[in-house]
Amino acid sequence: MGMESNMINKLLGAATTAAVILAVAPASAAKLGGCSGENMMKTESVIEVMPDGPERVTSQKEIAIAQTAMLDGKMGACAMHLSKAMHAASMNQASK
């Protein structure tokens, strides 16, 4: 369990860093490939381990909107909603 916990902490740390970067530069997120399958999977992994609460609900809604936008080819909208999902997840981490 210690190894799994360490991995989750590293993942959360990376996600928080990504959220800060996206929060600081959301307009450039689409240019930087913010809406990619890899970023989507990373965000979903962070949301999976979040405790139930308003931040998790917000993150789940935003990731669903981002996925729809990605499927529709709306990469700017996808990046924006992916950023919002990560921001909500980072707010959860910051409140601990």
Provide the residue ranges of all domains of the chain, joining segments of one domain with +: 2-94
What tens digit of pLDDT does each residue of 78-88 get? 999 999 888 88
Give the chain as a DSSP string. -HHHHHHHHHHHHHHHHHHHHHHH-GGGTTTTT-S-HHHHHHHHHHHHTSPSSHHHHHHHHHHHHHHHHHHTT-HHHHHHHHHHHHHHHHHHHHT-
What pTM was computed for the model?
0.62
The fraction of the chain above a pLDDT of 70, given in percent, is 60
Tens digit of each residue's pLDDT (9 = 90 or more) over 40-53: 888 888 889 889 98
